[in-house]
Structure 1
Amino acid sequence: MTLFLDVRCGGSGVNLKGRVIKLADVIACEMRDCTSFEAMQEFCGQMCEDPILPKYPVYASNNWYYAYGKSSESEILADCDYILNLTKDIENKPYMVIDDCWQEHHRLNEYNGGPWIKGNEKFPDMKALAEKLVQKGVRPGIWVRLLLNEDENIKNEWRLSHNNCIDPTNPEALNYIKEDIKRICNWGYTLIKHDFSTFDLFGKWGFQMSPLVTDDGWHFYDDSLTSAEVVKLLYKAILDASVEASNGETLILGCNTIGHLGAGYMHINRTGDDTSGVDWERTRFMGVNTLAFRLPQHGKFYEIDADCVGIDGGISWSMNKQWADVLAQSGTPLFISVRPNILDETEKQELHEILKVASKQEHHVIPVDWEETTCPEHWQDKDHDIDCKYQWFEETGLKFNPNTIRYQTFLSMTE
């Protein structure tokens, strides 16, 4: 096993200015009389002793995987009515999460950054919309990309030199980010999903970091901080601002975040890449895998979000039903993207029963065959009262994309 620590400040050496820092605590342990999954859960618990977790089971509607950014207030309210119909007589209220589409400068398929000061013509009043959602009977949630922002009031010295995104190590810039969070909380949104921060800080996706997290030749405004310290500075600021503005009632959901650095700073973490509303193979490859293999972190680092169930007719209900069911049975947050009126009455009733399970999170199945396959099919709870067998492969077999991303492997480096 190789431990590789990139302790630079961005793409340059860190200037500690006489400071001494601890780079890592390395934990090793031997466990007996337990399964490999139980050992991993215990190990994750030893690595994080102070997680923050939601006070109630989180499940939600989020129209991204059928709308893909093309939406409006009226469509959000229609989605709200639909999820309320699907969750009729369920005591725990679902969230209605507004994804990328609402912000002032939104340009479909071109720009998904800020400013985050107000909505656009399709979302004329974000505070009023949150109030309408509450009146209807759901919890309001919202998506935001904090570091990509073309607000002309942002000073040049607040920006990163390599990509022009906001540099959170500049105190004024960090306050600007915190004000965005406070504003959204004050509008009445009680779940904030902040996205893209890893890419916007370092200019790479995770699979490109083999092994360095960013390119050479640049550093943050405060060059005395390592990149890991910068990441934690940002996560802590987001959490602190939400606590200050909402008295701790707003949940933080991280997406494209660095998982172990987010433990203790976010209630929920989107642990995998995007699933899909049109391509089952992507959902199988990304969703089932991240649910199974990040599940030991659930409740130990944060709650894990293995991403949405995209229901828009492009994927068969038989496959999406299984995906929704395993998410619900696992006791992790279930997010669905379902186009209103796409399901027939039988399918709606089946989804209603799944959402009922998700609303309580009393079941906690784990992958039994996770040492044998990258896509576990056999799931059980601890007492074997629940025993689920899933079929994740379509009858036609795998559908390969000839232009798919090829993930790099990192070989051990030795002297």
Structure 2
Amino acid sequence: MRAPTQVFFQLNPADALRPAGPTSPTRWTAPGIEVRWTEAPPRSSTTTSAAEGSAVLVAASGGVARVVLRWDEPVPAHALVLGDAWERSYGDLQWRHLQPDRLLPWYWLGHDEKTGATFGAGVDVHPGAFCSWTVDQTGFTLWLDLRNGGGPTHLSGRELTAAVVRRFEDAGTPWLTLHSAIEAMSSHVTLKDIGPVVGANNWYYAYGEGFDEKAVLQDAATVVELADGHPVKPFSVVDDGWNPGGNGSGGPWDSGIPGLFDDMAHTAAAIKEIGARPGLWFRPLLSREPGPWARPGQYDGTGRALDPTYPEVLDLIRADLRRFKDWGFELVKHDFSTYDLFGRFGPAMGARLTDDGWQFHDPTRTTAEVILDLYGEIRAAADDLVLIGCNTVGHLAAGLVDVQRTGDDTSGRDWERTRKMGINSLAFRLPQHRRFFTLDADCVPCTPQTPWELNRQFLDLIARSGSALFVSVDPAARTARTDRDLGHGIRLALSGGDAADGGIEPLDWLVNTTPARWRAGTGTVWMGEW
């Protein structure tokens, strides 16, 4: 990819963007800052075909907030454009005609409807900045958010690799081009072989209220029964609501609710005895206890958000993960960390990401670096536990979680939410599966409040895809038909789905945010009216 046409910078968030002057075709400077464009250093790669990208290096004598790179290369006026999301998607991924103010996190693809060509650009996973793009008819722009919280990062002369940038060429179809782009951006990531991830999760009928160990063990028995002796054991996950703080609250995570979960080690052992693998949910960056390590200004009524740049906070998280492992759990789902860090979920982050003015305890690292370090510490402490990241930043979590919740919550109460969130996430982020992580488009509910004839189609797609399949089965909704459908889907997913036949592909995704026509194996599946 050739060097940008222009470079701009912002030393403080309140400043206006200013141009940096070129001192060579690949170097731009201004008082207090230097930006360089250079060949990226080689990285270990799981593929031999991925060419190295170009690195954006930023050095600042003091603080820096943003660097902006502009390429003056015309984009066809009739092009359709696709981007990703900061963390989970919220039913908002889509191909859309040119919209110059549209923020496109991490990468973008353009599709020329006249020529059929697909093209674009993106940044490798694990960048040192929060990276987004804007695309207009005269070119495209890369926005590098280098802030620490809501203030400048004090690099103090340190040279930061802000991003490794890549150009994407047409690979035959938009679907194949997105696959090729994802592979290139993650070419240095090596994933653990964790096998199929399939199991029960109680959230979408319990919603964190009124369940106990007996209900959890019933869920485990249900998923084992539906797996019907499959040699790959399913998981059974205890979701939010097991600890004394109650639904959505923070730690400490050292015990269950008295009278409901008196002994979490006993719960894990009982799940194993039934024949499932026990999993557990927690919120690592929220505490109900007062302390000196809180993230400034972030309190949501159920606890104070913790600042992971304090070593003591990382010590607490390490201790939690050791405890869960000692209890006998084999899977841990860590949740809410993006919200606890930024004070907002993905759709509200926009270009600002977070409120202005506050900073982490350590102001010398960008927010992207802080999050990367947090994910790395969780990964190391988890050891051989299967890690699920929920409300985690996919481009930073790649290879540091085993499974990633790629969309916002589906629903055991409202089918339309499942259609909007789950199907959209599966369709537009499936190429990330087994490249960034095992993809989890979220649970398939089986509840009296939602139509099974629609949920079963969602079940079928996920099972065929080979991505993570979790089912949330209300005992009141079980019938001979639901058991038959659930059993077939669970066993197919435990066997790896239709991967041997080429997996699945949304065929109408250029014009439909919740595709209804899919290639599955060697045939086509029509989902009818979602």
2:204 partner letter: Y
Give the counterpart of 1:113 among 246, 250, 256. Answer: 250
TM-score normalized with structure 1 length: 0.89
1:369 to 2:508 alignment: yes
SS class of match (2:528)? coil
Deviation per CA, 1:201-241: give whole Å up to 9, x if none: 01011101121111111100111010000111111110000
Residue of structure 1 in register with 2:474 after alignment: 339
Aligned in 2, Cα 1:392/1:125: closer, same or farther, shift over 3 Å?
A: farther
Give the counterpart of 2:219 among 79, 85, 93. Answer: 79
Contact (CA 8 Å) 1:284, 1:392: kept in 2 or not? Answer: no
1:99 to 2:234 alignment: no
Deviation per CA, 1:308-333: give whole Å up to 9, x if none: 11111111110111011111011111
Aligned in 2, Cα 1:392/1:147: closer, same or farther, shift over 3 Å?
A: farther
2:213 partner letter: E
Task: For 1:7-26, list aligned pairs within 5 A.
Answer: 7-26=146-165
Give the counterpart of 2:199 among 56, 60, 66. Answer: 60
2:526 partner letter: K
TM-score normalized with structure 2 length: 0.70
Give the counterpart of 2:179 among 41, 55, 60. Answer: 41
Q: Compare CA radii of gyration and give the structure with the larger one.
A: 2
CA positional deviation for 1:55: 2.2
How many aligned residue pairs are there?
379
Contact (CA 8 Å) 2:447, 2:476: kept in 1 or not? Answer: no
Measure the CA separation in 2 of the matches of 1:100 and 1:282: 20
Contact (CA 8 Å) 2:307, 2:360: kept in 1 or not? Answer: yes
Deviation per CA, 1:160-194: give whole Å up to 9, x if none: 11213111111121111111111112211111110
Give the counterpart of 2:518 among 366, 379, 400. Answer: 379
CA positional deviation for 1:47: 0.5
Measure the CA separation in 2 of the matches of 1:20 and 1:138: 49
Aligned in 2, Cα 1:386/1:112: closer, same or farther, shift over 3 Å?
A: farther
1:313 to 2:451 alignment: no
Deviation per CA, 1:138-174: give whole Å up to 9, x if none: 011111101111135xx31x11112131111111211
CA positional deviation for 1:54: 4.2
Task: For 1:226-245, list aligned pairs within 5 A.
Answer: 226-243=366-383
Contact (CA 8 Å) 1:167, 1:174: kept in 2 or not? Answer: no
SS class of match (1:165)? strand
CA positional deviation for 1:366: 1.5
Q: What percent identity do the matched residue pairs reach?
A: 40
2:461 partner letter: V
**Structure 1 unmatched runs, 5+:** 394-415
Measure the CA separation in 1 of the matches of 2:280 and 2:164: 35
Aligned in 2, Cα 1:192/1:281: closer, same or farther, shift over 3 Å?
A: same
Aligned in 2, Cα 1:238/1:287: closer, same or farther, shift over 3 Å?
A: same
Contact (CA 8 Å) 1:51, 1:263: kept in 2 or not? Answer: no
Task: For 1:15-414, list aligned pairs within 5 A.
Answer: 15-32=154-171, 34-49=172-187, 50-70=189-209, 71-106=211-246, 108=247, 111-121=248-258, 122-152=260-290, 155-156=291-292, 158-163=293-298, 164-243=304-383, 248=384, 250-363=385-498, 364-381=503-520, 384-393=521-530
CA positional deviation for 1:386: 3.6
1:118 partner letter: S
CA positional deviation for 1:29: 2.5
Measure the CA separation in 2 of the matches of 1:309 and 1:98: 16
CA positional deviation for 1:356: 1.0
Contact (CA 8 Å) 1:57, 1:361: kept in 2 or not? Answer: yes
SS class of match (2:297)? coil
Measure the CA separation in 2 of the matches of 1:135 and 1:386: 40
Q: Which has the higher strand share?
A: 2
Q: CA RMSD in A?
A: 1.3
Measure the CA separation in 2 of the matches of 1:338 and 1:9: 42
Measure the CA separation in 1 of the matches of 2:220 and 2:193: 22
Contact (CA 8 Å) 1:62, 1:335: kept in 2 or not? Answer: yes
SS class of match (2:267)? helix
Contact (CA 8 Å) 2:448, 2:476: kept in 1 or not? Answer: no
Residue of structure 1 in register with 2:25 after alignment: none
Contact (CA 8 Å) 2:460, 2:489: kept in 1 or not? Answer: yes
SS class of match (1:9)? coil
CA positional deviation for 1:46: 0.8
Measure the CA separation in 1 of the matches of 2:289 and 2:488: 45
1:79 partner letter: D
Contact (CA 8 Å) 2:256, 2:263: kept in 1 or not? Answer: yes
CA positional deviation for 1:387: 2.2
Report 1 or 2 for greater relative contact order, CA contacts < 8 Å, sequence distance ≥ 6.
Answer: 1
CA positional deviation for 1:341: 4.4
Contact (CA 8 Å) 2:249, 2:288: kept in 1 or not? Answer: no
1:36 partner letter: P
